[in-house]
Amino acid sequence: MSRRAFRWLVLGAVIVFYAVPMLSMARFAFQRVPVVLLTWDTLFSRWTIEPLVEAVTSREFRRSAFATVRIALLTASVTLFVLMPVLVRARLAGRRLRRVVELSAIIPFVVPAIALVVGVSGIYREWTPWLLRSEYSLVPLYFVTALPFAYRTLDNGLAAIDLRTLLEAAQSLGQRHSGAVVRVILPNMWASVSTTFFLVCTVVLGEFTIASLLLKNTLPLYLAYAQGQDPQGAFGIGLLLTVVSAVFLAVSARVSGRLVGTGVVR
């Protein structure tokens, strides 16, 4: 087999691997034909988006969806706000501090969600019981969960620019250090910042265990619940979320692509 043919074979296998489950989901969610009655004659009949409409207009869905979006946006913002100054400082300070930060950032990989929840909820109960009752109690936990991914993406973005020189150039022109990070560094690593933002949102959108243990009504929990009550609607929402995520990534890639024209491609 030629190399070219092998490449096409691999690409075809990947497409099938992703497309078949998606198409199966779509058929299950939007077609009112039981699978046992599915033939070539019935394949294109009785397609409807009614189950999805019913599901997304339900009060429970809206409540959990909005809560999840709020938590995702807050977690992503907190992650960037906390991590950026730390990583900039670590890059400027030298190898030793960078190693400490790197180690701290990847520790969550080996901490099970249950251990995290048990530990943190004890602290919440002792110091901030009001936070335990709030949906925002998930934000610090999701921050920790998303930390390894966010760290790696942002650190790669910082590695791709001449951080020290850009900061010093901005300072020599009268910009304070913090202002230089916002006005010079962030715009020059827009692609990795936006990727981090979407990555953290994705982690939040897919996280089940922590929310379940803390009894929070997030979208993944609602979907798990809805699969028992309204499987078609739940699958429809699952598919919708996948499409929305794909659109987000496409927009992010397009924005990054446009920035190629300005030299900001990191």
Partner 1 sequence: MTHVVECRSVSKSFGDTRALINFDLYVGRGELMTLLGPSGCGKSTALRLIAGFDVADAGDILINGTDCRETPANERRIGFVFQNYSLFPHLGVAGNIEFGLRLQGVSRAARRTRVTELLGMVRLQGLEDRYPHQLSGGQQQRVAVARALAIEPQVLLLDEPLSALDATVRREVRTEIRRVLQEANVAAIFVTHDQEEALSISDRVCVMNSGRVEQVGAPREVYARPETRFTAGFVGNTSCLRVTSLGGGRVQLADSGITFFVPHNIAVGESADLLVRPERVTFAESTVSGPAAVIESVIFLGTIDLVTARFDGSSQLITGMYMAGVRTPVVGERVAVQIDATAASVFAR
Can you tell me the distance from the alpha carbon of 22 to that of 182, in angstroms, rounded to the nearest whole number?
40
Which DSSP letter does residue 250 get?
A: H
Q: Does 201 bind partner 1 (CB under 8 A)?
A: no
**Judged by CB, which is closer to partner 1: 119, or 179?**
179
Stretch that binds partner 1, among 42-50, 57-65, 75-83, 173-181 (CB under 8 A): 173-181
Q: Which stretch binds partner 1 (CB under 8 A): 110-118, 202-210, 229-237, 258-266?
A: 258-266
If one asks whether residue 178 binds partner 1 (CB under 8 A), the answer comes out as no
Among 12, 21, 187, 206, binds partner 1 (CB under 8 A): 187
CB of 40 to partner 1, least distance (A): 55
Tokens of 236: 């429809």
Task: Output the smallest distance, CB 193 to partner 1, in A.
Answer: 12
Is residue 171 part of the contact set for partner 1 (CB under 8 A)? yes
Question: 214 — phi, psi (to 5°)?
Answer: -90, 5
Residue of 123, 169, 246, 251 that binds partner 1 (CB under 8 A):
169
Judged by CB under 8 A, the chain residues 210 through 249 that form the site for partner 1 are none
d(CA 197, CA 167) in angstroms, rounded, equals: 23
Among 184, 191, 201, 223, binds partner 1 (CB under 8 A): 184
Q: Please identify, using beta-carbon distances, which residue of 112 and 174 lies nearer to partner 1.
A: 174
- Which SS3 state, helix, strand or coil, does residue 142 take? helix
> What gap in Å lies between CA 249 and CA 234, rounded to an integer?
23
Binding flag, residue 188, partner 1 (CB under 8 A): yes
The structure tokens listed for 191 are 């692609």
Pick between residue 94 and residue 112 the one whose CB is nearest to partner 1: 94
Quickly list H helices, the chain: 3-30, 50-56, 59-93, 95-106, 113-127, 129-133, 138-159, 163-172, 177-180, 186-188, 190-206, 209-213, 219-229, 231-260
What binding mask, one character per residue, do residues 132-161 give for partner 1 by CB under 8 A, x or -? -----------------------------x
33 or 259: CB nearest partner 1:
259
| Nearest to 106, CA basis, from 67, 53, 36, 155 | 155
Residue in 151, 117, 110 with CA at minimum distance from that of residue 137: 117
* Residue 178 three-state SS: helix
Q: Which of 238, 242, 240 is nearest to 224 (CA)?
A: 238
In Å, the largest CA–CA distance within the chain is: 74
Q: Which stretch binds partner 1 (CB under 8 A): 10-18, 49-57, 183-191, 208-216?
A: 183-191
Q: Which residue ranges make up the site for partner 1 (CB under 8 A)?
A: 161-162, 165-166, 168-177, 184, 187-188, 190, 259, 261-264
